[in-house]
Structure 1
Amino acid sequence: MFSRNRMTTTALGALALCATLSLTPAVAQDSTDPIKLTLHDWTGQLITTQIMGEVLKKAGNNVEYVQADYLAQFAGLESGDLHVAMEMWETTGRDAMDAATATGKVENFGATGMKAKEEWWYPEYMKEKCPGLPNWEALKDEKCAEAFSTAETAPKGRYLGGPVTWGGFDDERVEALDLPFEVIHAGTDAALFAELESAYQRQAPILLWIYAPHWSTAKYKGEWVEFPEYTKECYTDPAWGSNPDMAYDCGKPFGEIWKVGWVGVKDKWPDAYNAIKAFTIDNDEMGQMITKVDLDGKKIEDVVAEWMGANEPRWSQWIKK
Structure 2
Amino acid sequence: MKKLSAMVLATALATPFAATAADSDDPIIIPIHNWSSQIVMSHVVGQMYEEMGLNVEFVTTDSQAVYESVRLGDVALELEVWEGAFGHSFREALSKGGLHDAGDHDAVTREDWWYPMWTKDACPGLPDWQALNDCAEIFATAESGGKGRYLDGPVDWLKHGKERVEALGMNFVVVNAGSAAALWAEIGAAEPDMRPVVVFNWTPNFAAAVWPGE
Range class of TM-score, shorter chain: 0.7 to 0.9
- Corresponding letter in the other structure for 2:102: F
Q: Which amino acid aligns with 1:36?
A: I
Which residue of the partner structure matches residue 84 of structure 2? 91
Select 1:74's aligned residue among 47, 64, 67. 67
Structure 2 residues without counterparts, runs of 5 or longer: 1-14
Aligned-pair distance for 1:113?
A: 4.2
Partner of residue 171, structure 2: 180
Q: How many residues align?
A: 195
Contact 1:48 1:86 in 2 (8 A): yes
Alignment of structure 1 residues 57-72 onto 2, 5 Å: 57-72=50-65
2:212 alignment partner, one of 221, 246, 263: 221
The residue identity in structure 1 corresponding to 2:198 is L
TM, length-normalised to structure 1: 0.55
Instruction: Give the Cα separation in 2 of the matches to 1:133 and 1:199.
Output: 18
- Identity rate of aligned residues, in percent? 37
Change (3 A) 1:135 1:106: farther
1:194 Cα deviation from its structure 2 partner: 1.5
CA contact (8 A) 1:30 1:61 kept: no
Partners in 2 of 1:188 and 1:85 — Cα distance? 18
* Contact 2:67/2:78 (<8 A) preserved: no
* Partners of 2:168 and 2:183 in 1: CA distance: 24
User: Match of 2:200, as an amino acid?
Assistant: W
How do 1:269-284 and structure 2 match up within 5 A?
A: none
1:30 counterpart = 2:23: no
Post-superposition shift, 1:222?
A: 1.1
Residue 49 (structure 2) aligned to one of 52, 56, 64: 56
SS in 1 for 2:80: strand
TM-aligned CA deviation for residue 93 of structure 1:
1.1
Contact 1:121 1:208 in 2 (8 A): yes
1:41 to 34, 45, 55: 34
C-alpha distance after superposition, 1:99-143 (max 9, x if no partner): 1112223332212444433321112122233222112232333xx
Amino acid paired to 1:180? N
What TM-score, normalized to structure 2?
0.80
1:49 deviates by 0.7
**1:129 and 2:118 aligned:** no
Offset at residue 204 of structure 1 (A): 0.7
Alpha-carbon shift at residue 208 of structure 1 (Å): 0.6
Structure with more of its chain in strand, by fraction = 2
* Deviations, residues 142-184 of structure 1 (Å, cap 9, x unaligned): xx11122223224321101122222222122222232221101
| Residues 77, 84 of structure 1: 8 Å contact kept | yes
Flag as ranges the 4+ runs of structure 1 deviating above 6 A: none
Higher helix share: 1
Question: Is contact 2:110-2:203 (8 Å) kept?
Answer: yes
Q: Helix, strand or coil for the counterpart of 1:222? A: coil
Which position in structure 1 is the counterpart of 2:196? 205
Question: Would you say 1:155 and 2:154 are equivalent positions?
Answer: no
Cα RMSD, aligned residues only:
2.2
Change beyond 3 A, Cα 1:101–1:117: same
- Residue among 164, 179, 182 paired with 1:191: 182
What corresponds to 2:158 in structure 1? 167
The 1:57/1:81 distance shift into structure 2, 3 A limit, reads: same
CA offsets per residue over residues 11-66 of structure 1, 9 Å max, x none? xxxxxxxxxxxxxxxx9672034332111122221111111222233445443322
1:282-301 map, 5 Å: none
